[in-house]
Amino acid sequence: MRWMWIDRIVELVPRERLVAVKHVSMAEDHLHDHFPASATRPAFPVMPASLIIEGMAQSAGILVGHAEAFREKVILAKVSKAELTVDAQPGQTLRYTATIRQMDAAGAATLGLVDLFDPLSSQPRRIGEIELMFSHIDQNMSGMKFPEENFVFGESFKTLLRMSGVAIPT
Amino acid sequence: MTRDDIFSKVRTVLVDALAVDDEDVKPDSILTEDLGAESIDFLDIVFKLEQAFGVKIAQGELFPENVAQDPTYVQGGKITPAGIAALKTRLPHVDFSKFEADPSLSKVGSIFTVDTLVRFMEKKLAAK
């Protein structure tokens, strides 16, 4: 099993842009640990920033992987920048918009925007920017050999793609 | 573009890619040892140089690839004379004079200094 941090892909422009959403729910255990009640204040459950970055990494990683029909093993190699200005709370929805800034045989650099939708507001709010670097690990790592099977894009990712109506390129 | 202009742009790229301060980036700074560059940073630097200078840099053009996998080029943990000759041909922007005294594979990263990038961009822009 793989921990998926996006619920649905809502737009995919191959080699260019992918938009995905993540609904933040009180049913998710990690929210209760981030941050639990202390002696001085009640619980303050918010989506951990590290998991928002992971959500963007999954969105951008799928975009990069899709560009080469998921033949490359696309690994998050660097978080070049991550700025998040507002907490995401249960009942709100995150929207990740990932775009490819540059890409070549060795890997890719992506730009990401994070927007927050609140049911009490008619407009989304821009809450962050996340820039990432991905490595095509078969093309790097000084020729190190990895399993032939693409262990990065497993069944969970394929389910997400199918569920979102995204054709898996062959 | 003058050499100083190129250095200034290269410095901006390195400050951005490696999260170092302006004053840390000197011509003789070694990307790995002095500025903390790791393997993925080399791809990041290539991408950022392409953007900053409006050029396309082919894979292996700035930094060498797969040298360690060729037994002709590496023996006993050292780059062979044939390997150094091949690298000199592939990487004319690199000054190998210090490296040749101790061509250990583990020290190959030390050949890439800020000046190496400046020389590379000088040649690249001249050929444009």
Q: Which domains does chain B show, CATH number per domain?
A: 1-63+112-128 (1.10.1200.10), 64-110 (no CATH)
Is pLDDT of B20 > 90?
yes
Nearest residue in chain A measured CA to CA from B66: A142
Whether A127 and A116 have beta carbons less than 8 Å apart is answered as yes
The chain-wide mean pLDDT, for chain A, equals: 91
Confidence of residue A68 (pLDDT cuts 50, 70, 90): very high
Q: How far is B40 from chain A (nearest CA, A)?
A: 6
Is pLDDT of B67 > 80?
no
* A141 torsion bin: left (phi>0), alpha (psi -120 to 50), beta (else): left
Share of residues in chain B with pLDDT > 70 (%): 98
> Within chain B, what is the greatest distance between any pair of CA atoms?
43
* Cβ contact, residue pair B44, A109, below 8 Å: yes
Task: Collect all residues of chain A within an 8 Å Cβ-Cβ radius of residue B69.
Answer: 142-143
Please state the rounded mean pLDDT for residues A31-54: 91
Q: How far is B115 from chain A (nearest CA, A)?
A: 24
Beta bridge partners of A82: A130
Predicted local confidence at residue A1, as pLDDT: 47
How much is the ipTM here? 0.82
For A41-50, A139-148, B108-117, which range has the lowest pLDDT when averaged over its residues?
A139-148
- pTM equals 0.88
Catalytic residue among A23, A30, A32, A34: A34
Confidence of residue B68 (pLDDT cuts 50, 70, 90): low
* Cβ contact, residue pair B51, A80, below 8 Å: no
The SS3 call for residue B112 is coil
* A144 torsion bin: left (phi>0), alpha (psi -120 to 50), beta (else): beta
Beta bridge partners of A126: A115
Is pLDDT of A154 > 90?
no
For B6-10, B30-34, B67-71, which range has the lowest pLDDT when averaged over its residues?
B67-71
> What is the Cβ-side half-sphere exposure of residue B93, based on CA atoms within 13 angstroms?
20
Please state the rounded mean pLDDT for residues A81-95: 96
Predicted local confidence at residue A143, as pLDDT: 57
Whether B97 and B89 have beta carbons less than 8 Å apart is answered as no
Among candidates A104, A133, A140 on the partner chain, residue whose Cβ is nearest the Cβ of B44:
A133
**B26 in contact with A, Cβ within 8 Å:** no
Domain annotation for chain A: domains and CATH numbers: 8-163 (3.10.129.10)
Residue A34 among the catalytic residues: yes
* Cβ contact, residue pair B51, A107, below 8 Å: no
The chain-wide mean pLDDT, for chain B, equals: 91
Is pLDDT of A100 > 90?
yes
Give Cβ neighbours of residue B74 (< 8 Å, ≥ 6 apart).
B67, B68, B80, B83, B105
Is pLDDT of A145 > 80?
no
* Cβ contact, residue pair B39, A143, below 8 Å: no
Q: How far apart are CA B70 and CA B83, in angstroms?
A: 9
Please state the rounded mean pLDDT for residues B104-120: 91
Q: How many residues does chain A have?
A: 170
Is pLDDT of B11 > 80?
yes
